[in-house]
Structure 1
Amino acid sequence: MPMVGSVYILAVRAFIEDDDGRVLLIKRASDSKTNASRWELPGGKIGTGESLEEALKREVKEETNLEIIPEEVMGVVEQKFPVINAAHIIIRCRAEGSVKLSHEHEGFAWVEPSDLRRYRLADWLSDFVMKLKIEEDKEDSPLGGILRFMRGVYL
Structure 2
Amino acid sequence: MPNKSQSIIVAVKGVILHQGRILLVRRTAADSAGAGSWECAGGKIEFGESLETALQREIQEETGLEVTAERILYAVTLLTAPGRQVVIITYLCRPLQQQLEVLLSEEHTDYRWCTISELYTLLPAQITADFTRHGIFKLEGLLP
Q: Partner letter of residue 132 of structure 2?
A: M
Equivalent residue for 1:35?
34
- Partner Cα distance (2:91, 2:31) in 1: 24
The 8 Å contact of residues 11 and 89 in structure 1, kept in 2 or not, is answered as yes
Query: Hey, which bits of structure 1, 4+ residues long, moved more than 4 A?
Result: 152-155
Greater share of strand residues, 1 or 2? Answer: 2
TM-score, normalised to structure 2, is 0.84
Larger Rg computed on CA atoms: 1
- Give per-residue Cα distances to partners, 1:78-103, cap 9 Å, x unaligned: 23211311111000011134111001
In the alignment, is residue 52 of structure 1 matched against residue 77 of structure 2? no
Unpaired stretches in structure 2, ≥5 consecutive residues:
none
- Partner Cα distance (2:25, 2:121) in 1: 14
- Partner Cα distance (1:22, 1:109) in 2: 9
Q: Partner letter of residue 100 of structure 1?
A: L
Unpaired stretches in structure 1, ≥5 consecutive residues:
137-146
Task: Give % identity.
Answer: 33
- Partner Cα distance (1:99, 1:44) in 2: 17
1:111 corresponds to which of 111, 114, 121: 114
Quick one: structure 1 residues 14 and 111, their matched pair in 2 at CA, closer, same or farther if it must change by over 3 Å? same
Instruction: Please give the root-mean-square deviation of Cα atoms over the aligned residues, in Å.
Output: 2.6
Shift of 1:3: 7.7
Question: Relative contact order: is structure 1 or structure 2 higher (C-alpha 8 Å, sep ≥ 6)?
Answer: 2
Quick one: structure 1 residues 124 and 80, their matched pair in 2 at CA, closer, same or farther if it must change by over 3 Å? farther
Give the number of equivalent residue pairs. 139
TM-score, normalised to structure 1, is 0.78
- Partner Cα distance (1:94, 1:152) in 2: 12
- Partner Cα distance (1:126, 1:35) in 2: 15
Q: Partner letter of residue 32 of structure 2?
A: K
- Partner Cα distance (2:39, 2:125) in 1: 9
